[in-house]
């Protein structure tokens, strides 16, 4: 049997397929559809210090080969998350990676990471520095909107959080940049154990009869197969530059699309929008990867990473 296990920082995963932040609820929602224990890891919806209602509706719509969303980080806040959601996530079985963020205060990342550092049920922390509207003027060198659009702001934030936690630290980056490598190198240089690539691409859609945007917040994040070629290119570019593992995501819907990411340089993959279309996608992909490894007589999934022939 091929070896599907991979290491992401200190975290050992029994297989390299996880489910992405914001697309898997708090796992409970999927327990009637799949055997949750089969997943490599579960990434929680991003949590903030205070509870957030999120953005006004409509917050999602379909897009060609994908969807737009502007949920606006709706979540119950860290204390309610730890009390009510984390025990449910932990019961599912796989390692729980908690995604954290802040709307306007980089120090909140530190506070969140410190709180989670003491909790055994938390396997790793993912820094969502790719969500919109974070003000970080004291950290930035450019007039950018997101921390992960600015290498110095990325470096400063990851460095601060690194000091606050012993847990495996994953930094999730935005594709809405000119050069993904400079941001990837900044996160690595500041001590991130891994990178998650990519968050959504900013987009919009218009109802021409109403002459209104289809999303109340006007712009939104594009996800699904539409973004896969961009995601793949960014994983491949980052893989040439960094030595830390990359968790690849963006439009993975089946085994073939997951395999593309390994060949481009990912050590693990994450399934997002596909969960809404086919709740069984993640488990089907795990089985499919196993079959591919057997077919090609490969010892383990590690033998695939960066295996692209040019």
Phi-psi region of 110 (alpha: psi -120 to 50; beta: other; left: phi over 0): alpha
Minimum distance from residue 290 beta carbon to ligand FMN (Å): 21
Closest-approach residue to ligand FMN (CB): 22
Compare residues 46 and 156 and give the one whose CB is closer to ligand FMN.
46
**Backbone torsions φ then ψ of 152, nearest 5 degrees:** -70, -40
Question: Which residue number, 112 or 249, has a Cβ lying nearer to ligand FMN?
Answer: 249
For ligand FMN, give the closer residue by CB, 165 or 273. Answer: 273
Of residues 23 and 156, the one with the C-beta less far from ligand FMN: 23
Residue 131 appears among annotated catalytic residues: yes
CB of 251 to ligand FMN, least distance (A): 4
Q: At its nearest, how many Å lie between ligand FMN and the CB of residue 198?
A: 6
Residue 119 beta carbon to ligand FMN: minimum distance, rounded to whole angstroms: 19
Q: Which residues bind ligand FMN (CB under 6 A)?
A: 20-23, 45-46, 67, 69, 71, 73, 99, 128, 172, 199-200, 223-224, 227, 249-252, 271-274
From 86, 131, 153, 161, the catalytic residue: 131
The closest alpha carbon to 253, from 102, 110, 89, 65, belongs to: 65
Q: How far apart are CB 19 and ligand FMN at their closest, in Å?
A: 9
Report the nearest approach of ligand FMN to the CB of residue 168 (Å). 16
Which residue lies nearer to ligand FMN by CB, 76 or 250? 250
CA–CA gap between residue 156 and residue 139 (Å, rounded): 7
Closest CB to ligand FMN among residues 238, 249:
249
Q: How far is CA 129 from CA 111, 115, 180, 212, 213, in A?
A: 15, 18, 14, 29, 26
Instruction: Encode the chain in three state secondary structure.
Output: CCECCEEECCEEECCCEEECCCCCCCCHHHCCCCCHHHCCEEECCCECCCCECCCCCCCEEEECCEEEECCCCCECCHHHHHHHHHHHHHHCCCCEEEEECCCCCHHHHHHHHHHHHCCCCEEEEEEECCCCCCCCCCCCCCCCCCHHHCHHHHHHHHHHHHHHCCCEEEEECCCCCCCHHHHHHHHHHCCCCEEEECCCEEECCEECCCCEECCCCCCEEEECHHHHHHHHHHHHHHHHHCCCCEEECCCCCCHHHHHHHHHHCCCEEEECCHHHHCCCHHHHHHHHHHHHHHHCCCCEHHHCCCCCCC
> To the nearest whole angstrom, how small is the minimum distance from the Cβ of residue 100 to ligand FMN?
9
Of the pair 75, 305, the CB lying nearest ligand FMN is at 75
Catalytic residue IDs: 131
């Amino acid at each position: 049997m091929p070896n599907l296990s991979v290491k992401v920082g200190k975290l050992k995963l029994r297989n390299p397929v996880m489910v992405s932040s914001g697309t898997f609820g708090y796992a409970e929602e999927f327990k009637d559809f799949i055997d949750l224990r089969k997943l490599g890891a579960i990434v929680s919806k991003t949590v903030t210090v205070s509870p957030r209602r999120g953005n006004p509706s409509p917050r999602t719509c379909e897009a060609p080969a994908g969807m737009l969303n502007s949920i606006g980080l709706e979540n119950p806040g860290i204390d309610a998350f730890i009390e009510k959601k984390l025990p449910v996530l932990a019961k599912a079985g796989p390692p729980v990676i908690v995604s954290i963020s802040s709307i306007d205060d980089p120090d909140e990342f530190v506070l969140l990471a410190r709180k989670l550092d003491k909790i055994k049920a938390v396997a790793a922390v993912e820094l969502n520095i790719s969500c919109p509207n974070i003000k970080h003027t004291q950290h930035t060198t450019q007039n950018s909107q997101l921390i992960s659009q600015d290498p110095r702001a990325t470096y400063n934030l990851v460095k601060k959080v690194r000091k606050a936690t012993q847990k495996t630290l994953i930094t999730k980056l935005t594709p809405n940049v000119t050069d993904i490598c400079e941001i990837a190198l900044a996160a690595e240089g500041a001590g991130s154990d891994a990178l998650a690539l990519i968050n959504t691409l900013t987009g919009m859609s218009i109802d021409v009869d109403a002459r209104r945007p289809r999303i109340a917040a006007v712009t939104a994040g594009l996800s699904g197969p539409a973004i896969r070629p961009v995601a793949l290119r960014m994983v491949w570019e980052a893989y040439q530059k960094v030595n830390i593992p990359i968790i690849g995501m963006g439009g993975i819907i089946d085994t073939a699309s997951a395999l593309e990411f390994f060949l481009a340089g990912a050590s693990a993959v994450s399934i997002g929008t596909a969960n809404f279309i086919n709740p069984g996608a993640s488990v089907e992909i795990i089985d499919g990867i196993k079959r591919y490894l057997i077919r090609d007589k490969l010892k383990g999934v590690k033998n695939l990473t960066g295996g692209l022939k040019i």
